[in-house]
């Protein structure tokens, strides 16, 4: 969900591809309309449901588009999103070339392109267009959305290109020739499905996809992985891995270590536990001794670099360790060697491996740091070097150039536009590209504050206001609180997540914007997540309430004039906050949300998240889930804060029925509801910047209307 159902990303090494289509009649039949009068809204493309959606959309459009500043906000948001002065991120380093997907006003769906690495590092890239996604979609009569490409290393001559129709997680896969810059005639091709693929060699793939009845898990992922040889039909592929129906998924992946290609299998038993297998040279898969709760983050010198989500003997959770792949392949006993252990205030965020270095982006009280680690071949010990970057900033570790031992990072803050840096193994970082200021940062201040939650836990949050602000002003708090996804402060033109420059618009109005680092995320490592897992979910809600109450206590914002924002898993959060403290909040933004926690595990990919929330069909789990499930806890006779729901009909990750049903119930009980359901876009909502800009303008109009009293 952020960034993380956004998330819909399953822990194992493949991107989550989740179930599409409508809720089946069998599922609907499990619950009667007497029990749930709005059950019919789960029929994603049902005529009655779509008619209701269109009526709600029209009502909200008419109201908010009439706001005097709507069109100027929309135009400004679109200009910011389409500005050609944007970071050309290194999506992949392929030998001596960089590839990037570029989106702007002329290319809303994007151009996949490449540049020589040296020119890119020098800040003077020479781009060659590989695929123009907009032109391809027009030529083929499809609303293609780019889902990435997996190019076979080390030559990078052939790629598996994934394209989604309209932005759903399901996509079409086609083989691409980098030399001819064209799709390969009679090459590897998969029809629209929820597929994962891995190159074994130029003529062999491992494919997890929908092979027909019984081939998918309850979560809607592939249950079977087959080995597919070039020139043969997929129906002739040989099964090499098979999981259980109740698993989340079975998949395969590959990682490079210099010029060596290591191939792995992943059996995701739930969202947080996976059995990892290594494919030997003879094609057999052998189990790896890595704990099923751990995550493999890279390979260096024949060693798998692994992040521990649970303690391993005397090694604390949150540490990085390494195992010898050669020993595993040969069936020899192997023990983990410690690479790095963070302090109690720190958390390992991102990890990249180049030929001789392990790079770590580290959170230190939610402030970004970068480390480069090297291994002493004689002692086997790892030494770390802190790389000097900007203070009080967020550091995103993007990618690494293996043979060059070069890491690419961005550095940014709420008032500091992103800067892309190339960091060598030794010496000072090199500035590749800096974005210009998009607003006058001198008029604002940012501070990190700490609230005290109900159980006395110290909860950090970031606060942005205009300088010299006196007296309470309306505030908007954005939070997430789940799936180990840390919420990091970024430039205000992109805050909150999926809301364009809403944060900037809001503080320019003289209001306060807050990013809350509540439990459930990964800001302080695995323990911070575990503290809000399953039966402990209330801790994340209490943390949000504590931040809001701290704003009131400090005289920053008045009670009842605080808006809250959350999307995906954040929908559970703001939905629970809505029902638990309607006195504290004045407006709620709920994007692509989960709300009906009684039925979530039966809708689309919901079954894959039971390790996070619990199984509502088990009485012992429903006993704690029912205490906060938003849809079940809305009561007649209670006045709730006005709520804005935004989502996509085509979301094949979080079912649109969640937002629809809570919107219907709130309206039925006499509460104010705003609603915007986009008909394309998938879980990320916007298939292009046009929709993102409209949503930013609508949310701004909503907040001004409900928290500032404008336009009422």
Q: How many CB atoms lie within 10 A of CB 620?
A: 9
Residue 221 carries which DSSP code? Answer: S
For tokens 């992985």, name the residue: 225
The pair of three-digit structure tokens given for residue 303, joined into one six-digit string:
């060693």
CA distance 67 to 183: 47
Question: Is residue 536 left, alpha or beta, with left meaning phi > 0 and alpha meaning psi from -120 to 50?
Answer: alpha
Contacts of 304 (CB under 8 A, 6+ apart): 288, 290, 296, 298, 322, 323, 325
DSSP-derived secondary structure letter, 41: G
Distance CA 693, CA 79 (A): 9
Distance of CA 621 to the CA centre of its chain: 26
**429-to-199, 400, 426, 544 alpha-carbon distances in Å:** 34, 13, 9, 37
The count of other CB atoms within 10 Å of the CB of residue 511 is 24
Question: Is 453 designated active site?
Answer: no
- Which of the following is catalytic: 683, 684, 689, 700? 683
d(CA 439, CA 493): 9
Q: In angstroms, rounded to a whole number, what is the distance separating the alpha carbons of residues 631 and 654? A: 15
Helix axes 569-580, 538-553, angle to 10 degrees: 60
Length of the chain as a residue count? 712
Is residue 568 flagged as an active site residue? Answer: yes
Distance CA 336, CA 334 (A): 7
Sign of CA dihedral 401, 402, 406, 410: positive
Residue labelled with tokens 């001559």:
157
Alpha carbon distance 102, 647 (integer Å): 25
Say whether 151 sits in a helix, a strand or coil. Answer: strand
Structure tokens at 430: 């090199």
DSSP class of residue 330? Answer: H
Q: Which of 6, 114, 453, 568 is catalytic?
A: 568
Task: Tell me the C-alpha to C-alpha distance, in Å, between residue 314 and each of 337, 341, 623.
Answer: 12, 11, 35
Half-sphere exposure of 638 (CA within 13 A, CB side): 14
Q: Tell me the H-state helices in 4-46.
A: 25-29
Q: Distance between CA 340 and CA 351 in Å, rounded?
A: 11
CA-based nearest residue to 277, from 313, 303, 251: 251
Residue 347 burial (C-beta neighbours within 10 Å; 0-12, 13-18, 19+): buried
Q: Which residues are catalytic?
A: 568, 683
């Amino acid at each position: 969900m952020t960034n993380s159902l956004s998330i819909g990303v399953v822990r194992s090494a493949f991107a989550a591809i989740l179930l599409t289509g409508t809720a089946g009649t069998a599922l609907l039949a499990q619950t009667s309309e007497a029990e749930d009068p709005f059950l019919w809204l789960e029929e994603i493309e049902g005529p009655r449901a779509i008619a209701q959606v269109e009526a709600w959309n029209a009502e909200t459009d008419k109201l908010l588009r009439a706001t005097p500043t709507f069109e100027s906000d929309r135009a400004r948001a679109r200009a910011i999103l389409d500005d050609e002065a944007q970071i050309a991120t290194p999506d992949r380093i392929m030998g001596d070339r960089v590839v990037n997907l570029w989106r702007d006003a002329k290319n809303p769906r994007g151009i996949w392109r490449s540049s020589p690495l040296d020119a890119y590092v020098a800040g003077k890239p020479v781009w060659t267009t590989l695929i123009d996604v907009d032109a391809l979609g027009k030529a083929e009569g499809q609303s293609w959305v780019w889902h990435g490409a997996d190019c076979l290393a080390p030559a990078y001559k052939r790629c598996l290109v994934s394209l989604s129709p309209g932005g759903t997680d399901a996509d079409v896969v086609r083989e691409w020739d980098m030399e001819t810059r064209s799709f390969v005639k009679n090459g590897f091709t998969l029809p629209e499905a929820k597929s994962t693929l891995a190159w074994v060699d130029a003529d062999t793939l491992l494919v997890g996809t929908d092979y027909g009845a019984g081939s998918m898990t309850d979560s809607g992922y592939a249950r079977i992985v087959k080995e597919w040889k070039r020139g043969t039909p997929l129906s002739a592929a040989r099964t090499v891995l098979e999981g259980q129906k109740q698993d989340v998924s079975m998949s395969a992946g590959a990682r490079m270590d210099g010029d060596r290609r290591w191939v792995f299998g992943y059996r995701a038993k739930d969202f947080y536990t996976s059995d990892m297998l290594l494919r030997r040279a003879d094609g057999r898969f052998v189990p790896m001794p890595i704990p099923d709760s751990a995550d493999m983050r890279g390979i260096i010198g024949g060693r798998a670099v692994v992040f521990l989500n649970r303690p391993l003997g005397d090694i604390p959770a949150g540490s990085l360790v390494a195992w010898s792949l050669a020993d595993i392949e040969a069936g020899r006993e192997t023990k983990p060697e410690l690479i790095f252990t963070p302090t109690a205030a720190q958390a390992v965020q991102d990890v990249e491996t180049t030929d001789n270095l392990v790079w770590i982006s580290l959170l230190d009280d939610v402030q970004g740091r970068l480390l480069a680690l090297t291994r002493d071949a004689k002692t086997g010990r790892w030494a770390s070097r802190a790389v000097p970057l900007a203070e009080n900033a967020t550091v995103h570790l993007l990618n690494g150039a293996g043979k060059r031992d070069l890491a690419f990072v961005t550095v940014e803050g709420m008032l500091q536009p992103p800067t892309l840096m190339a960091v060598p193994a030794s010496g000072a970082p090199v500035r590749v590209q800096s974005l210009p200021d998009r607003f006058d940062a001198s008029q604002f201040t940012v501070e990190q504050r700490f609230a005290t939650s109900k159980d006395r836990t110290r909860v950090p949050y970031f606060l942005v206001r205009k300088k010299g602000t006196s007296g309470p002003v309306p505030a908007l708090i954005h939070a997430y609180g789940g799936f180990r996804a840390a919420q990091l402060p970024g430039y205000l033109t992109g805050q909150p997540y999926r809301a364009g420059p809403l944060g900037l618009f809001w503080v320019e109005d003289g209001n306060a914007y807050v990013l809350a680092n509540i439990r459930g995320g990964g800001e302080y490592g695995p323990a911070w997540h575990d503290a809000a897992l399953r039966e402990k979910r209330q801790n994340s809600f209490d943390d949000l309430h504590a931040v809001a109450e701290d704003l009131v206590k400090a005289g920053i914002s008045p009670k009842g004039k605080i808006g809250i924002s959350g999307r995906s898993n954040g929908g559970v959060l703001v939905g629970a906050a809505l029902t638990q403290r309607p006195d504290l909040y004045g407006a709620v933004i709920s994007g692509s949300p989960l709300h009906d926690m009684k039925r979530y595990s039966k809708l689309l990919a919901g079954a894959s998240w039971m390790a996070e929330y619990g199984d509502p069909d088990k009485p012992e789990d429903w006993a704690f889930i029912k205490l906060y499930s938003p849809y079940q806890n809305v009561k007649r006779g209670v006045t709730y804060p006005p709520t804005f729901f935004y989502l996509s009909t085509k979301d094949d990750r979080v079912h649109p029925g969640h937002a629809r049903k809570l919107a219907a119930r709130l309206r039925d009980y006499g509460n104010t509801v705003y609603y915007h359901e986009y008909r394309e876009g998938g879980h990320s909502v916007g298939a292009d910047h046009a929709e993102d800009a409209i949503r930013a303008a609508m949310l701004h109009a909503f907040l001004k209307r409900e928290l500032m009293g404008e336009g009422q």
